[in-house]
Structure 1
Amino acid sequence: MELLILLVGLLCLAAGIKLGAKFHYYDNLKKRNKDLRAQIAKRRHTYATADGLEDALAVTIDLLLRQDAADKYRRARVAQLNSILGEVRKGPLSYDGDRPADRPPENGDM
């Protein structure tokens, strides 16, 4: 008899724990649903603001691309400068003064 009471008690305890876990799960779902609804209800940017931000981003990207091209041009000119100075360093008569000056690099040479 005592064993039966113990088993029924354990069964009730297990059912209570399981039921408590379900209640906790549903409470979390309610809270999450409420949070998501609050997030959906928040104000968003107007189309004009979004357009302005998009244009600002386009200008920023263009600026970075142009800066990159300018950096490539500077690196190419420094390489030409190193070439000329390397020729001069070979000796006092090694540089041909009659040769035409190096042209700036073209877009493809950068």
Structure 2
Amino acid sequence: MPRPQRHVFVCTQNRPPQHPRGSCASKGGTAVLQAFWAEQQKRQAYDQLSITYSGCLGPCDQGANVLVYPEAVMYRNVAPEDVGEIFDTHIVGGQPVKRLLAPATVW
């Protein structure tokens, strides 16, 4: 298997429902992860990227959070319907999706 060009981390951190920080799992993190895996499979993009679920990436109140390396781009408030755009614009096109970028104060 060739070395992937990018590595995508999707937060699936789960906390109790009333936790003050919230969690990406309660904001659809698992569905976002599954959407990334489905898109990777649909495009047969196994040599382009690795997709890994992760614990907390930091800004829990802005989840679901996604982190893309090697660029170290943090996306926030990601929904499953955003995954195709992230693939087209960032993974394939090399440009971050501006409307989903975490603010500089967070990342």
What interval of TM-score do these two structures reach, taking the shorter chain for normalisation?
A: under 0.3
**Greater RCO, CA 8 A, separation 6+:** 2
TM-score (norm 1): 0.27
TM-score (norm 2): 0.28
The structure with the larger Rg is 1
Q: As a proportion of its length, which structure holds more helix?
A: 1
Q: As a proportion of its length, which structure holds more strand?
A: 2
